Amino acid sequence: MANKVWHRFSSGPHLAEALADAVAGRLDAAIKTRGAALLAVSGGSTPPPFFRSLSRRKLDWRRVTVTLVDERFVPPSSERSNARLAARHLLQNEAARAEFVPLYHEADNVEEAAKKADRMIAALPLPLDVAVLGMGTDGHTASFFPDARGLSELLSEERRHVLPVHAPSAKEPRLTLSLPLLCGAGLIVLHIEGEEKKKAFEAAFAESAEAEAPIHTLVSRAATPVQIYWAPSAAKSDPAAPATP
């Protein structure tokens, strides 16, 4: 079964509107069927236009809980914070009424922060209704970086929902939702823009690929086909967006 479906758009703004429609529709359906909806979004420079479109969609946001696919181990005051990015671009307008559950917690180290986040995520009305992933040109998604310490153990973790990650290519320690949690979402979206990322994605699935990139692992384990939203123009990097990785 093709575990990926491409949705190609002529520009970033067209993609943002279409993705906002798809995500809002899924959240609305979840509210109607189970009285609540759970959305996990990624950070980085790509999401802000989509966040702003989604923030304007009319739905019962009071029944929506928003969390993060992954987070840098930095406080929300940091320019690098994905929670800060979500607060500035998504939790505005209609979506300001949503509940936000962070992954970052003040702690002595990222391992302790992950334990606190794990307890909070476990208390949510799982599974995720929507997970919106990004991808780096190195084939990482969420914070599953190819050079992460103990990557295969991280990818095969079944018990914890939130994992601490140390990767030389990531600027700081990370917190990431587990693969089973992401792969079990009702709607799994990969939002990538620009030719470079399209080529990187295709290379991750080429027969000639040396090691299995984390994005390949995620797509192959996804319970539903991953919906790839792609536009040729890389999103205008928002000066407020934390630089990635």
Ligand X SMILES: O=C(O)[C@H](O)[C@@H](O)[C@H](O)[C@H](O)COP(=O)(O)O
The residue within the footprint of ligand X, chosen from 16, 37, 45, 167 (CB under 6 A), is: 45
Tell me the two tokens of residue 134: 């990004």
What's the number of CA atoms in the CB half-sphere (13 Å) around residue 45?
A: 14
On whether the CB atoms of residues 132 and 41 are closer than 8 A, the answer is yes
Q: Quote the CA–CA distance of 133 and 181 in Å, as a whole number.
A: 12
Residues 61 to 80: which contact ligand X by CB under 6 A? 69-70
Which has the closest alpha carbon to 188: 142, 233, 237?
142
Residues 73 to 132: which contact ligand X by CB under 6 A? 82
Segment lying near ligand X (by CB under 6 A), choices 10-18, 44-52, 116-124, 205-213: 44-52
On whether the CB atoms of residues 144 and 133 are closer than 8 A, the answer is no
* Distance of closest approach, residue 69 Cβ to ligand X, in angstroms: 6
Judged by CB under 6 A, how many residues of this single chain contact ligand X?
A: 15
Q: In angstroms, what is the C-alpha Rg of the chain?
A: 16
Residues 12 to 41: which contact ligand X by CB under 6 A? none
Choice between 17 and 138, CB closer to ligand X: 138
Residue 35 region by backbone torsions, left for phi larger than 0, else alpha for psi between -120 and 50, else beta: left
Choice between 95 and 135, CB closer to ligand X: 135
Cβ-closest position to ligand X: 134
Q: Should residue 44 be labelled a site residue for ligand X when binding is judged by CB under 6 A?
A: yes
The residue within the footprint of ligand X, chosen from 43, 48, 139, 173 (CB under 6 A), is: 43
Quick count: other Cβ atoms within 10 Å of Cβ 206?
A: 9
On whether the CB atoms of residues 164 and 114 are closer than 8 A, the answer is yes
Helical segments of 60-150, H only:
82-89, 110-122
Choice between 28 and 48, CB closer to ligand X: 48
Choice between 12 and 245, CB closer to ligand X: 245
Choice between 61 and 144, CB closer to ligand X: 144
For tokens 């018990």, the residue is 159
Q: Should residue 238 be labelled a site residue for ligand X when binding is judged by CB under 6 A?
A: no
Segment lying near ligand X (by CB under 6 A), choices 23-31, 135-143, 178-186, 218-226: 135-143
Q: Quote the CA–CA distance of 95 and 75 in Å, as a whole number.
A: 22
Residues 153 to 212: which contact ligand X by CB under 6 A? none
Q: Should residue 148 be labelled a site residue for ligand X when binding is judged by CB under 6 A?
A: no
Choice between 69 and 188, CB closer to ligand X: 69
Q: Quote the CA–CA distance of 143 and 173 in Å, as a whole number.
A: 9
Residues that bind ligand X (CB under 6 A): 42-46, 69-70, 82, 134-136, 141-142, 244-245
